Amino acid sequence: MSIFQSLIKKEILHLLRDFRTIIVVLVIPVVLLLLFGFAISTEVNNVRVAAVVEQHTNETRHILEQFRTNTYFTFKGIIPFDEIENILRKGDADAVVIFRSELGELKHQIIVDASNTNMAQTSTAYLESVISSATGIPVVTNTLYNPQLKSAYNFVPGIMGMIFILICAMMTSVSIVSEKETGTMNLLLVSPVRPWTIILGKLIPYFLLSCIILTLMLILSYTVLGIPFSFSVINVIWITILYVILALALGLFISTIASTQVSALLVSGVMFMIPVVLLSGMIFPVENMPLVLQWFSCIIPARWYISAMRVLMIQQLPIKYVLTEVVVLSVMTMIVLVLAIKKFNAKK
């Protein structure tokens, strides 16, 4: 067996025997995907609505019928005017619609509990659309790319962006630093093994692990979460591989600056976890951030990756629409790799 093969074999054996870690590493992506895909959703699908009706007309009857039958609403009944504040205050309803006829024309007012702004905005929009379609000229809204407005579609790219940075960067840095701590790294460095071989011997097993995770996540996304499958999956795969390499390089870089496993964990946690969750656009849209934060988000690899994944996985557009992202990710990979290898060799 060659030196290189035996180093890789050692790393794989080490991973396989660290049973708990391997389980965590394989289970966390699945759990996160399912959690964000099903349990956590920003959709509002149970608006409890009550109505105050001054005078019933065909129109109001029609609208109330909509409230009763539409699955997005739970109709809490018709209430007298002075009950409005009470029902909202007790939290028995999220919104109250008041119908009033003026000169034969139906006017309406929506009173909404805005203690949760997101929910208030969404439910107002729902109510508006139901009322307007019943009364005036309906606005035809055509939702492209995600017709059911499933939040899973939004979260899958985000989760992938987070998982690969976490697993690749954290695990490689911790595993290299742990070799420094136990002193086995010194044994390798005094041996005739070239530094390059040591580095690749460390990175390749984690690269393989990432490929397994990627397969697992893609299968889940395209089956359980129902993201439409198309040939763009090939682009998804190779851009993810580029992103994985970038994350591995980051892990290598962290391992050269951290001297203990704890600090490696902290550095990768603070450097990656927080910015990735807050600034990458995974949850909060980058476009809504203050300008300074928008600039800052440009140096976060996950931002580019997630944005590319949205285009490729959800919009299913061809590769030419994510050229910027690919170029930025490639350049970042180069820079980090060069820096990491320079630092790794510069210990003398």
Partner 1 sequence: MMDKEIVISVKGLTKKFGNFTAVDHISLEVHRGEIFGFLGANGAGKTTAMRMLCGLSFPTSGSGMVSGYDIISQAEEIKCHIGYMSQKFSLYENLTVWENLNLFATIYGMNSKTIKEKTDVAFKTLGMENVQNVLVKEIPLGWKQKLAFTAATLHSPDVVFLDEPTGGVDPSTRRKFWEMIYRASSEGMTVFVTTHYLDEAEYCNRVSIMVDGHIKALDSPARLKQQYHAKTMDEVFRIVAKDAKRSD
Smaller CB separation from partner 1, 195 or 269: 195
Stretch that binds partner 1, among 1-9, 145-153, 169-177, 286-294 (CB under 8 A): 1-9
Cα radius of gyration rounded to whole Å, the chain: 27
Comparing CA positions, the residue from 182, 73, 80 lying closest to residue 125 is 73
Shortest Å, Cβ 172 to partner 1 = 17
Query: Is residue 17 involved in binding partner 1 (CB under 8 A)?
Result: yes
Comparing CA positions, the residue from 263, 161, 240, 249 lying closest to residue 203 is 249
Residue 340: partners with Cβ closer than 8 Å, 6 or more residues away: 249, 250, 252, 253, 256
Query: What is the rounded (10 degree) CA torsion for 335, 341, 344, 348?
Result: -110
Type and span of the H or E element at 304: helix 301-309
Shortest Å, Cβ 198 to partner 1 = 10
Query: Is residue 18 involved in binding partner 1 (CB under 8 A)?
Result: yes
Smaller CB separation from partner 1, 21 or 133: 21
Distance CA 265, CA 322 (A): 32
The tokens describing 79, both together, are 């209430």
Type and span of the H or E element at 175: helix 171-182
Question: 114 by DSSP, 3-state: which?
Answer: coil
Smaller CB separation from partner 1, 17 or 320: 17
Smaller CB separation from partner 1, 44 or 188: 188
Distance CA 85, CA 194 (A): 75
Site string for partner 1, 172-211 (x = CB under 8 A): ----------xxx-xxxxxxxx------------------
Task: Give backbone dihedrals phi and psi of 183, rounded to 5 degrees, phi first.
Answer: 95, -5
Smaller CB separation from partner 1, 186 or 215: 186
Shortest Å, Cβ 176 to partner 1 = 14
Shortest Å, Cβ 10 to partner 1 = 5
Question: With CB under 8 A, what is the number of residues at the site for partner 1?
Answer: 23
Smaller CB separation from partner 1, 90 or 347: 347
Would you say 235 and 156 are in contact if contact means Cβ atoms under 8 Å apart? no
Query: Is residue 345 involved in binding partner 1 (CB under 8 A)?
Result: no
Shortest Å, Cβ 7 to partner 1 = 8
Would you say 132 and 124 are in contact if contact means Cβ atoms under 8 Å apart? no
Shortest Å, Cβ 347 to partner 1 = 8
Shortest Å, Cβ 175 to partner 1 = 11
- In angstroms, the first-to-last Cα distance of the chain is 30
Site residues, partner 1 (CB under 8 A): 1-3, 6-7, 10, 13-14, 17-18, 182-184, 186-193, 347-348
